[in-house]
Amino acid sequence: MMEPCAMAKILYFNIPGYGHVNATLPVVAELTRRGHEVIYYCGTDFQGAIESAGGIFRPYPIADLDSRMIVRISRHLANVSSYLLKSARTLAPFAIAEIEREQPDLVMYDAVTIWGRIAAAVTGTPSIASYTVMVNEGRKIEIGCRKMAVFAATAIPKLPGLAIHRRALIKAYGEDIMHAPLFPSKAQKNIEFILPSFQPESQFVDDSFVQVGPSIDPALRQEAPWQPLDTALSQVLISLGTVNNRNTHFYRTAFAAFADYPAQFILSAGKLVDMDQIGAVPGNFLVKESVPQLQVLQQSAAFITHGGMNSVQEGLYYGVPLVVVPQQMEQFINGKRVAELGAGVLLDKGDGLTPEQLRSALDTVLTMPSYTQAARALGQEGQAAGGYVRAADEIEAFLGRVSKQFIEEHAGKIRVLSGYLLD
């Protein structure tokens, strides 16, 4: 740990998405443990988790900005961009007013919370952006004609609205602040909560970026106690995350694929799934509304996942090879990166996924040692990267540099004032 710095007041602006919030909570806990004050702006459904981490919770003045809204818009990137730009027209003035009232030493914001970037720039407050996804800006990604057609079909209708919101923000705050790219919104310092090797080369990623690895503290996750299963069989976790867990077709496919497979499957199905629509549960499946993912991963031989970055990073952190079954574009990109690193298989079949394909993919990662070896190597890298402790160190180091720069720039005024006071 670096030398302690003076207690700082930090304002943190985030969106109410589980993948975006979970990674920041251990950092908040570490910063408050070191004596800093963290005022955290988010949706009300995260109030308990933020306060448990030691943060001071403040709600946004938009009633529907909660995890349910993020779930609804997350299926298509164009919907996310449109909603966040629209929200920024309300939240940027709000954030500016909060900064002027609180007079923080530092503003932190998730890289998609454009209002955090605007407010920090307008008020001249030092800023750090946090990234829970890899940066793909300036990187060519092969996605195929079918995905491009789907993306275009959802994005084109949103373009007029996006243009209207962006023009309004430019008019209010100027081109210098509203320059591209908006998503992600780079700050003076940028912290990525991903495995260092997971971030591909990008023109956008410069010396202001640091990859601290997954930010994981099981004590803060408030997971229910988990009794390890008494079985000699390999355990396989299956989860489609919080956004896509109503995909009953996938669950039926998994039952058909693995009903006679020599493994114990743990399926996290979510609260909204009608189990009557899925059919009979095979004897080698344990189906729960939710499971303590961090605990289960530590006992798993493989993880069949939708490919959300939170799940991908957690699986690899514990050295578990992945079968990625993406449900949307971002997850496809994550799965493609997993496959490039040799730590899993990307199974991009959509609703056309067959039991045979799913079974074959799991066979591959369980029987070919290279997948487990690659996953474990990435896990070791992630644990060595420092996680939330390193993130707190980087934040304190940045605060120290900002303070030193301020003193150097105002040294003359400080000497004059000191002489006046001592005269």
Same domain, 345 and 408: no
Give residue 344's pLDDT: 98
Same domain, 167 and 236: no
Whether residue 122 is contained in a domain is answered as yes
Same domain, 173 and 317: no
pLDDT, tens only, 167-217: 888 888 887 877 766 667 889 999 999 999 998 877 778 899 999 999 999
54 phi-psi bin (left φ>0, alpha ψ -120 to 50, beta other):
left
Whether residue 43 is contained in a domain is answered as yes
- What's the residue count for the chain? 423
Whether residue 3 is contained in a domain is answered as no
Would you place residue 94 in the very low, low, confident or very high pLDDT band (cuts 50, 70, 90)? very high
Same domain, 200 and 229: no
- Range name among 75-89, 128-142, 239-253, 405-419 with the lowest pLDDT average: 405-419
For residues 314 and 67, the model is more confident at 314
Q: What proportion of the chain, given as a percentage, has pLDDT over 70?
A: 82
Give residue 142's pLDDT: 54
Give residue 75's pLDDT: 66
User: How many domains does the chain divide into?
Assistant: 2
Would you place residue 2 in the very low, low, confident or very high pLDDT band (cuts 50, 70, 90)? very low
Give residue 258's pLDDT: 98
Rounded-to-integer distance, Cα 292 and Cα 210, Å: 29
Joined together, the tokens standing for residue 26 give: 């251990």
Give residue 231's pLDDT: 79
pLDDT, tens only, 338-359: 999 999 999 998 778 999 999 9
Q: Is pLDDT at 408 greater than 70 in this prediction?
A: no
249-273 mean pLDDT: 90
Q: How far is CA 342 from CA 197, 213, 251, 345, in A?
A: 12, 18, 26, 8
Whether residue 35 is contained in a domain is answered as yes
Same domain, 50 and 146: yes
318-330 mean pLDDT: 93
Would you place residue 325 in the very low, low, confident or very high pLDDT band (cuts 50, 70, 90)? very high
Provide Rg for the chain, Cα atoms: 23
For residues 196 and 141, the model is more confident at 196
pTM for this predicted structure: 0.86
Indicate the SS3 state at residue 52.
Answer: helix
Same domain, 206 and 114: yes
Indicate the SS3 state at residue 3.
Answer: coil
Same domain, 149 and 254: no
Least Cα distance to 50 among 17, 21, 70 occurs for 21
pLDDT, tens only, 284-301: 999 988 899 999 999 999
User: What are the DSSP calls for 61-92, one per residue?
Assistant: S-TT-SHHHHHHHTTSHHHHHHHHHHHHHHHH
Whether residue 422 is contained in a domain is answered as no
Same domain, 339 and 369: yes
For residues 332 and 350, the model is more confident at 332
Report the CATH number at residue 370: 3.40.50.2000
User: What are the DSSP calls for 286-345, one per residue?
Assistant: EEES---HHHHHTT-SEEEE---HHHHHHHHHTT--EEE--SSHHHHHHHHHHHHTTSEE
Whether residue 247 is contained in a domain is answered as yes
95-123 mean pLDDT: 96
Range of the domain at 322: 220-382
Contact (Cβ atoms closer than 8 angstroms) between residue 306 and residue 327: yes
Give residue 395's pLDDT: 97
Whether residue 135 is contained in a domain is answered as yes
Would you place residue 149 in the very low, low, confident or very high pLDDT band (cuts 50, 70, 90)? low
Give residue 305's pLDDT: 97
Rounded-to-integer distance, Cα 239 and Cα 194, Å: 20
Same domain, 242 and 287: yes
User: Helix crossing, 309-317 with 369-384: angle to 10°?
Assistant: 100
Joined together, the tokens standing for residue 195 give: 């495995």
Q: What proportion of the chain, given as a percentage, has pLDDT over 90?
A: 59
* Strands laid side by side in the 127-131 sheet: 56-59, 37-42, 9-13, 106-110, 127-131, 189-192, 209-211
Same domain, 199 and 144: yes
In the 3-class helix/strand/coil scheme, how is 244-284 assigned residue by residue? CCCCHHHHHHHHHHHCCCCEEEEEECCCCCCHHHHCCCCCC
61-75 mean pLDDT: 75
For residues 30 and 76, the model is more confident at 30
What is the distance between the terminal CA atoms of the chain, rounded to a whole angstrom?
Answer: 41
Would you place residue 35 in the very low, low, confident or very high pLDDT band (cuts 50, 70, 90)? very high
Whether residue 420 is contained in a domain is answered as no
Same domain, 161 and 45: yes
Q: Specify the DSSP class assigned to residue 39.
A: E
Mean pLDDT (the chain) is 86
Contact (Cβ atoms closer than 8 angstroms) between residue 301 and residue 234: yes
Same domain, 126 and 242: no
